[in-house]
Amino acid sequence: MEYQKILNTIQEELSYRNTTGKVASYIPELAKVDPKKFGMHLYCRDSGHYSIGDSKEKFSIQSISKVFTLTMAMQLLGESLWERVDVEPSGDPFNSLTQLEYEQGIPRNPFINAGALVIADILVSNLKNPKTDLLEFVRKITGNQEIDYDLTVATSEKSTGYRNYGLVNYMKALGNIKNDVEPILDFYFHQCSLAMSCEELANAFMLYANGGILLENGEKILSTKRVKRINALMQTCGFYDEAGEFSFEVGLPGKSGVGGGIVAIHPSKYSVAVWSPILNPKGNSELGMAALEKLTTLTGFSIF
């Protein structure tokens, strides 16, 4: 497969000039990002790395980090994790309060904000240094010791994160949050502030494309069963209330973030990350969605 030729075609055919969305503005630091940025990196299990555009520039990965924290929580709690968070698509915006009221404080899935806050609570309960441990995990699966939090973004999120405060307080009132609110939100705002490039994200998500095994050294990080479940959740819940559209158009498991990043995998074939900060009304990268649709169309590969 001529992946570089396909990526070059995508770069030639797509432009921020044809988008109608906007850069995320509710987090002040994200509003400062250049809307013209566009990068893409594909990591093929058999033939290596391919990239276009701003693929080496770091950006705020935001909700893509929820895949990493879910992985850590699954390793700690196993099946009992699902007593506190469900595995169903939400059909509602990622920061919805209404759904929690109907479902007695049990979030629909670990990728909406409420679900990720429960996961954060679990990690705060079970780890002495959750922020350090998360960094170590991400650095290990990328093979890059320089990945770090963007503290300016974390502070910016904290200053405007009123709805997340509302979500975690409401779940605490209903008995699904065990720790004090502040350390949970401090961890959550830091995880969302992780700064990574498309190349680094593609490296990290090769873990999920390669059956839980690090491609670089053959180390088994995740069981086949857990990889299957994480990939299934990415397929059904990775794009909030646009997960069906992503499955329909792209046909790959993936996860988006309001920083404009999207990562997707084709099991046993490749991982791919794309970044364009202009978001559609559902909070997903407009150009990123289009780029991945072109990728699966031009390769003829999806999981379906």
> What is the domain extent for residue 26?
3-62+194-299
CATH of the domain at 293: 3.40.710.10
pLDDT of residue 101: 79
Tell me: do 202 and 287 sit in the same domain. Answer: yes
Residue 283 within any structural domain of the chain = yes
Tell me: do 144 and 108 sit in the same domain. Answer: yes
Tell me: do 31 and 74 sit in the same domain. Answer: no
pLDDT of residue 184: 98
Residue 304 within any structural domain of the chain = no
Tell me: do 148 and 34 sit in the same domain. Answer: no
Tokens of 264: 């997707």
The tens place of each residue's pLDDT in the chain, 304 residues long, gives 899 999 999 999 998 888 888 998 888 899 999 999 999 999 999 999 999 999 999 999 999 999 999 999 999 999 999 999 999 987 666 666 777 878 889 999 999 999 999 999 999 999 999 999 999 999 999 999 999 999 999 999 998 889 999 999 999 999 999 999 999 999 999 999 999 999 999 999 999 999 999 998 999 999 999 999 999 999 999 998 889 999 999 999 999 999 999 999 999 999 999 999 999 998 899 999 999 999 999 999 888 8
pLDDT of residue 94: 63
Count of domains in the chain?
2
pLDDT of residue 98: 75
Tell me: do 164 and 75 sit in the same domain. Answer: yes
Tell me: do 148 and 214 sit in the same domain. Answer: no
User: Rounded to two decimals, what is the model's pTM?
Assistant: 0.95
Tell me: do 187 and 211 sit in the same domain. Answer: no
Tell me: do 31 and 108 sit in the same domain. Answer: no
pLDDT of residue 238: 94
- Last-in-domain residue among 192, 213, 247: 192
Tell me: do 293 and 199 sit in the same domain. Answer: yes
C-alpha to C-alpha distances, 172 to 85, 99, 168, nearest whole angstrom: 14, 15, 6
Tell me: do 118 and 210 sit in the same domain. Answer: no
Backbone angles phi, psi at 261, to 5 degrees: -90, 150
- Last-in-domain residue among 192, 212, 239: 192
Tell me: do 139 and 103 sit in the same domain. Answer: yes
